[in-house]
Amino acid sequence: MDMKAKSAGLEGLNFDNSYARLPERWYQRREPMPLKGAHLASFNPQVAAMLGLDPCELDPRELVPFLNGDQPIPGADPLAMKYTGHQFGFYNPDLGDGRGLLLGEVVNPAGERLDIHLKGAGRTAFSRFGDGRAVLRSSIREYLAGEAMAGLGIPTTRALCLIASEQFTQRNGMEPCALLARVTPCHIRFGHFEYFYYTRQYDELKVLADYSIERYYPDCAKADNPYLALYLEVQERTAELVALWQCYGFVHGVLNTDNMSILGETFDYGPYTFLDQYIPDFVSNKNDHESRYAFEKQPEIVLWNLSAFAQALVPLVPQQELEQALTTFMGRYRYYEQKRMRARLGLQQEESGDAELIAGLKKLAAEQRLDMTRFFYRLSELGDGDDAGLTDLMALSPEPSALADWVEAYRQRLAREVASAPIRQAQMKAVNPRYILRNYMAEEVIRAAHAGDYRPLNDLLPLLRDPGSIHPNLDHYAQQPPDWAGAICLTCSS
């Protein structure tokens, strides 16, 4: 294949399956189990282009028999990975790809290596008591979340397409099954390292670390201790990731170590939520009875997960060096959080009082239960001396007078900025979306899809990919969520 040319279909992709060349006891080779009546629900041309497929030449419906397992994909080598991890704080040795298959690794025309992973492909050796299937409801939620995160500039997995079917399985009653073709450079989790550590396979642990360095962090090979350098790179990316979550009100819901990517991407979407109101102790997962994964706890939980990852590296790195590295995490998290919050506030320069200004806004937002997406967007529209815009902004609070002192302090701070109001507004709108993926939006799409109508799903995607622009036909999503939105219940099956 000419690597400069884009392929018309999966048959022409350039596969080079490096993970499949690792020891076979690390995984189970397994072909997908086809779904009955599989059909295309949605196709993602942006991800297709990333892989080297030409969206203009490809008929997306031709993807279905290959991804459903009816026809083999030339060059693919499907396998289910073995890993373990801590779930809700407790180590589980029995984890692995119970409903997923790594189909293979594609090297695109730019020389980038991308995994294609099929979620919902049937039982594997790691399914335990599960049937290996994914339902349409949860598959739609993950598909939407990947596009929403990409639109916000938050590192994330994405999907090439979503395949629906006429096959049903038992979840919340009988639900239709689906397949999600997930695409990302990396499917290695903290839990992969934990597996080799807790089974005392330290030689295998070193092989995994060497593989991770060679594939994802080649510069670490030059360090005095490449494995410590690997840990530091993972920690840095993860600190920035969780900071972005906090800045945009994203609640992951199931921050287990097997859901943490070593690439610092948002991974394995389940009962996630983007906050409609700023509620620091909000819990998105109704199965999380002890509120372990509440919104405000995410930075410390991510630190806990990083400590579990560090523990797994002890055979390769002196423990005191890993412990010292962990002490720097919260500082790095706060650095990235302040950086993005200053950008959202239109503050290009850094001043010593900025942290206090940001903390004051968060305090008010919690007290007033502000819709921060709408608040920041209106703030980005606020011009100098714009009394009408200020009135609109204050109207978002149930007690507008409570915001008065903060707004005055904010305007005084803006007065010390060099940029003019139009430039500041443009910069703010680049990081302050008009729309966010709210649970009720996903629920509307899911209800339509269950009725066989995938148009609302596909109509929503352009809005998520470009959330800062006005989408006239969907602009009702910029308004306050409907009352029924608060009654949506999410669990681990979501």
What Å distances lie between residue 184 and 113, 439, 459, CA to CA?
9, 24, 24
As a whole number of angstroms, the distance between CA 419 and CA 343 comes to 13
Distance between CA atoms of residues 100 and 85, nearest Å: 17
Q: Which two tokens stand for residue 46?
A: 């942006």
Nearest alpha-carbon partner for 315 in 225, 191, 239: 225
d(CA 412, CA 208): 53
151 closest CA partner among 296, 11, 69, 250:
250
Neighbour tally for 233: CB within 10 Å = 20
Residues taking part in catalysis: 258
- Cβ 361 vs Cβ 396: under 8 Å: no
CA distance 288 to 485: 20
What span, in angstroms and rounded, lies between the C-alpha atoms of 99 and 127?
Answer: 6
What token pair was written down for 386?
């714009």
Spatial separation of the C-alpha atoms in residues 194 and 201, rounded to whole Å: 10
How far apart (Å, rounded) are the C-alpha atoms in residues 446 and 172? 14
What is the C-alpha separation between 6 and 13, in angstroms, rounded? Answer: 9
Full DSSP string of 398-459 = SSGGGGHHHHHHHHHHHTT-SS-HHHHHHHHHTTS-S----HHHHHHHHHHHHTT--HHHHH
Give the whole-angstrom CA distance, residue 328 versus residue 154: 22
For 324, the enclosing helix (H) or strand (E) is helix 319-326
Distance from C-alpha of 218 to C-alpha of 302, rounded to nearest angstrom: 24
CA angle, residues 28, 31, 34, in degrees to nearest 5? 140
For strands 90-92 and 85-87, give the pairing: antiparallel
* DSSP SS3 for 343: helix
Q: Which class for 349: exposed (0-12), middle (13-18), buried (19 or more C-beta within 10 A)?
A: exposed
Dihedral of alpha carbons 64, 69, 71, 73, sign: positive
CB 114 within 8 A of CB 407: no
